[in-house]
Structure 1
């Protein structure tokens, strides 16, 4: 759900590294992590080194990291990533255009910004931030919201109606609906991907834009 780990990996600032234009085939799962962080009241923190709420600190994922539909065939969001052939410095805060190749979202595109990494990710793996997707191994949601959230620890909620559960915070419901409305409750669909210049709508939320961002092509979406 809204889990925050490895806070020190990425700061809300500009990053640069040797240009590495990643592309290929990949896999997706779902999780929630972030760059710019908030306190438990969803107020942005100014201290980028604030300790993670998963580890007894005060830093949590801001609720505006939820994915959203731009139109029927395009969505924006955020993801933890592990891209083969590169390194953390080459993919942190980079944006990728994913084209889904399987399941009910086959043919749709999503542009995600990489806001974290994860030791549990495989090669060319995009772990999409998604309310209702399950809190995973690092559950910061209970301390952030003062309650457990609906759904299973791994996999999250199983129906759209669970997004309306009394223990689903109102600020997360739109992102939970997105999972069933735009994403069609797809179960870890495959993707092809390519690195692209980040849309301003994503960097405005994360507070992070790479110095080499302009060297990558604009997204090719309808």
Structure 2
């Protein structure tokens, strides 16, 4: 179990900021399917690039693609895609430990909609575990994909972690990116 703090920074004027803080209890899982994050697309709405930005994606060698190329590239998880022109999850999205009780990372937030213009795309959350080996530890994550599948419930977080699970699309993206190297992890992710 974890306690999830949602931080929303709203620009009210050039000199005044408001911080909205809400708490939710949810579960965390781990996963890494190598797929292009959903928030890396504008869903054919270029105006989203200026209002929200887009998550960076990489080529199969984990080299960042220019923003416009990344936004329009097809995910490496699509069956039959040309792996040389597809977009993938950059290997730099793995968790970054800062101290014994704080780390940074990226996540999939389980939602009903997987639209690229989902309002939670690119939002940041502070997670604090209530139980288990990580009890009282904190992680700041940025949502790079709304959605999720399997036994996860709405609001749960899937923390992007290599080897933590391959999700519903299996090894598809990772096979294209790493040439068939099996990264391990359960189909639905680890709780």
Same fold (TM over 0.5): yes
**What corresponds to 1:97 in structure 2?**
126
CA contact (8 A) 2:127 2:138 kept: yes
Determine the C-alpha separation between the residues in 2 that align with 1:21 and 1:102: 22
Q: Count how many residue pairs are aligned between Structure 1 and Structure 2.
A: 139
**What corresponds to 1:124 in structure 2?**
155
Is residue 114 from structure 1 mapped to residue 134 from structure 2 by the alignment? Answer: no
Is residue 53 from structure 1 mapped to residue 76 from structure 2 by the alignment? Answer: yes
CA contact (8 A) 2:108 2:148 kept: no
Deviations 1:87-107 (A, max 9, x none): 963311000000001111000
Is residue 143 from structure 1 mapped to residue 176 from structure 2 by the alignment? Answer: yes
Is residue 69 from structure 1 mapped to residue 97 from structure 2 by the alignment? Answer: yes
Determine the C-alpha separation between the residues in 1 that align with 2:164 and 2:27: 16
CA contact (8 A) 1:133 1:155 kept: no
**Unaligned stretches of 5+ residues in structure 1:** 1-15, 157-186, 189-222
More helix by share: 1
Determine the C-alpha separation between the residues in 2 that align with 1:119 and 1:79: 10
Deviations 1:139-158 (A, max 9, x none): 310110102324244277xx
Q: Are residues 123 and 132 of structure 1, via their aligned partners in 2, closer, same or farther at CA, if it must alter by over 3 Å? A: same
CA contact (8 A) 1:66 1:131 kept: yes
Deviations 1:79-136 (A, max 9, x none): 011369xx96331100000000111100000000000012424222101100111222
Q: Are residues 109 and 135 of structure 1, via their aligned partners in 2, closer, same or farther at CA, if it must alter by over 3 Å? A: same
Q: Are residues 83 and 23 of structure 1, via their aligned partners in 2, closer, same or farther at CA, if it must alter by over 3 Å? A: farther
Q: Are residues 155 and 137 of structure 1, via their aligned partners in 2, closer, same or farther at CA, if it must alter by over 3 Å? A: closer
Look up the SS of the partner of 1:137 in the other structure. Answer: coil
Determine the C-alpha separation between the residues in 2 that align with 1:102 and 1:83: 23
Is residue 43 from structure 1 mapped to residue 63 from structure 2 by the alignment? Answer: yes
Deviation >2 Å, runs of 4+: 19-23, 32-35, 87-90, 150-156
Q: Alpha carbon RMSD of aligned pairs, Å?
A: 2.6
Look up the SS of the partner of 2:77 in the other structure. Answer: helix
* TM-score after normalising by structure 2: 0.64
Determine the C-alpha separation between the residues in 1 that align with 2:165 and 2:24: 27
More strand by share: 2
